[in-house]
Structure 1
Amino acid sequence: MTIEHKSIDDIIRSRRSITSFKQEPVPTDVIIDLLDVAKWAPNHKMTEPWRFLLYNGEGTETFVQAFINSQPAPGGEVSEGVKKKADHFRSIPVHLVVVMPEDPRQKTWDEDHAAVSALIQNFQLAAWARDIGMIWRSNDWIYNPTFREKIGVEPGEKIVATLMLGYIQDIPKPKKRTDIKDKLTIIEN
Structure 2
Amino acid sequence: MQQSIDQLIKGRRSIKKFQEKPVDLEEIIDLLEIAKWAPNHKMTEPWRFLLYSGEGKEKFIEAFKATQGTGEEAAEKAAKKAAYFRSIPIHLVVIMPEDPRQKTWDEDYGAVSAFIQNFQLAAWARGIGMIWRTNDWIYNPVFREKVGVQPGEKIVGTLMIGYAEHVPEAKPRTSIREKLEIITE
Q: With structure 2 as the length reference, what TM-score do the two structures score? A: 0.97
Instruction: State the Cα RMSD in Å.
Output: 1.3
Q: CA deviation at 1:74?
A: 3.8
- Deviation track 1:39-61 (CA, whole Å, cap 9, x = no partner) reads 00000000000000000111111
Q: Are 1:85 and 2:87 an aligned pair?
A: no
Structure 2 residue identity aligned to 1:186: I
Q: Secondary structure at the match of 2:51?
A: strand
Q: Are the equivalent residues in 2 in contact too, given 1:18–1:133 (CA < 8 A)?
A: yes
Which string of whole-angstrom CA distances, capped at 9 and with x for unpartnered residues, describes residues 85-141 of structure 1? Answer: 111111100000000000000000000000000000000000000100000000000
Aligned to 1:164: 160
**Counterpart Cα distance in 2 of 1:53 and 1:168:** 22
Structure 1 partner of 2:172: 176
Match of 2:37 among 36, 40, 43: 40
Unaligned runs of 5+ in 2: none
In structure 2, the residue matched to 1:72 is: 69
Is the Cα–Cα contact under 8 Å of residues 68 and 78 in structure 1 kept in the other structure?
no
CA displacement at 1:70 relative to structure 2: 1.5
Paired-residue identity, %: 66
Superposed counterparts of 1:14-163, under 5 Å: 14-74=11-71, 79-163=75-159
Q: Any stretches of 5+ residues in structure 1 without a counterpart?
A: none
Instruction: Give, as a single letter, the amino acid of the residue that structure 1 aligns with 2:87.
Output: S
CA distance in 1, matches of 2:43, 2:103: 15
Runs of 4+ in 1 over 3 A off after TM superposition: none
Alpha-carbon separation, structure 1, partners of 2:132 and 2:99:
23
Number of residue pairs aligned between Structure 1 and Structure 2:
185
In the aligned structure 2, how far is the partner of 1:138 from the partner of 1:20? 17
| Partner SS state of residue 108, structure 1 | helix
Report the residue type matching 1:17 in the other structure.
S
Secondary structure (helix, strand or coil) at the match of 1:95 reads strand
Q: Give the direction of change, closer, same or farther, for the CA distance of 1:37–1:149 in structure 2 (3 Å limit).
A: same
**1:44 partner amino acid:** H
Preserved CA contact (<8 Å) 2:52 2:60? yes
- What is the alpha-carbon distance in structure 2 between the residues aligned to residue 109 and residue 87 of structure 1? 35
